[in-house]
Structure 1
Amino acid sequence: MRELQEEINCAHLNVTRLKEEEKKSSEVIWDITKSIADIDKEIDEDTRRIRQLNYQISDLRQRQKDKLTAFGGDRVQNLYRSIERHRNRFQILPIGPIGAHVQLASDSWSVAVDCAFGRLLDAFIVSCHKDSLVLRGCAKQANYHNLQIIIYDFTKPRMDIPIHKLPSTTHPTILSVIHSEIPTILNVLVDQGQAERQVLVRDYEEGKSVAFDQRIQNLKDVFTSDGYRMFSRGSVQTILPPNRKGRAGRLCSSLGERITEMVEEVTGTEQINEERKGQKRNLVIDQGNIESKLRSLKQFLLFHRKEG
């Protein structure tokens, strides 16, 4: 009788141990499942990033051939041909796209300035309403239906902004880092883009300090070198991320260097993704082994319950 009781106690201990093993195995499987889901998410995010980079690389390589296509795409070429056919109908030939006539003091601000002006860089400038109608007709012929047209006085000299109307900071404004041989271009970027009130900073933390902590007069927006926009309106502080779908640094003059950087980023990201896929394969194998072990444990426990 005593030996039987010992066997029963031993069996109970085994069952308890197996249940604990079952619980631990279930927890491990849950952890592995979560890790696999996290890896899948990272792979998906980086795959999207690779697609975006490849699109931008293709875009930059096209721009190496023709700067005009950076601002409005292939439609700009068709628009130029249409303008040339109708040049005698214009009082003064249009200027544009604006971005094709803008240079930067440093390529480090190319993304920030592009994010600040956006589609304004694609716009054309005409001297009067009549010319705007002629240009609209040319755009229609070129299948460029959403062309932004700005009417501006071409005879107006370059604006001289008084110091007391500029942001009270040592950080550069967009106006201080852009250059154009055409005064009308700069005037439009001030009138339409408020270039003199947009401040540039190197990084995110510096941007928050300038935008929110320093209470700078005449400041409209702060842009970081990688395209974050920060501004304060009353008591509301806003931070907007860069538009990742936009064309990267269209104003950048050293396109070859930018393309090389992007190609290296694609290669590095693809390598990281391959490593993640290897980690995932190993986790799936581990998950299969533990699930097999767990099934055996459950069958064993079920058998013991029936025996009990």
Structure 2
Amino acid sequence: MPFPFLKLPPEIRNKVYNLLLITSHPHRSLTPDIIGQVVRGEFEWNMCPDMGDSVSLLRTCKLVHQEASSILYGSNWFYFMERPSLGEDDEDEDNGGADIPICDHMFVYPWLRLIGAQNRMHLRNLRLHFTGETFFYCRGESNRFTSEVVTRTGGEYLVDALEFLGRGHALAMIEIVFSPLECTDTEFKQMFQHLFRRRSESRLIRQMESFSGLKQLIVGDLYQEEMESCPEAYASFLSVKMGMEGKQPAEEPQGSVAAKPSHGKSLAKKIKELVEERDRLELQALETNQKLRDEVGKLQAIEDTLSQAQNALSEAQKHKSIFGG
């Protein structure tokens, strides 16, 4: 007999969804891999965890889909990145000698349309990985640090995706990760300084400026926990334009911009209330689960007693038949 899953309390069902749909690795995304082969004979890109048949749970019925999709899209990070190109012997370079990357950015916009408006509103965490090619293409000028001619791959798609997402979203956090490629720290600082002096020419920067409503913006380096080569003004500038203000607290990593100071106490209070509510629900779920086990035990005892009574009645009827009673 099938187990009546929907008869479980919502708290228990949510625990099941969490176990099935939340990836345990903080650096892996549910975004499907574009390539699954060895890159340049050195690295194998396998950022997407194997979810197995877990996501097929969403296809069982409308109620389960509604409950589970909010956890799938709201509790995982979705990671879009630029990757090394696959060509050999200069096949993967443009006329200016710049690498042509295998770029997830061109799939962000189709993916956002594919998951639908309701699931887009569930998205909470987005991680974007940029390299110099993307930023300098979006600036519309030559990249004098990596190539005379900029590779026109990925950047325009990312701008379209951010513009599309910015029309209506519930994102709480965007993490922007930069790869300095072969630039020195000095060149990298100069690159950002020049970029923001000419930011009016950058579609990507203009779009990021108009993206409002975030609780936190994180700027980091692909290879470091803190990005010393990125000017602090970069995060501060974007934070003001994106609806946040003030510098990050001292204990926060460089480049991390917290919510508005004026809302700090209310936000901390809200977090405390949510933690207390979560603990209460977990305790309630455990108590409910224990009660459920107790009730199942009682039911089993009743069934055993009933079976014994039926056996006794059957024996009595046989005895009566034999002796003609």
TM-score by length of structure 1 reads: 0.31
Larger relative contact order (CA 8 Å, sep ≥ 6): 1
Please identify the structure whose Cα radius of gyration is greater: 1
Higher helix residue share: 1
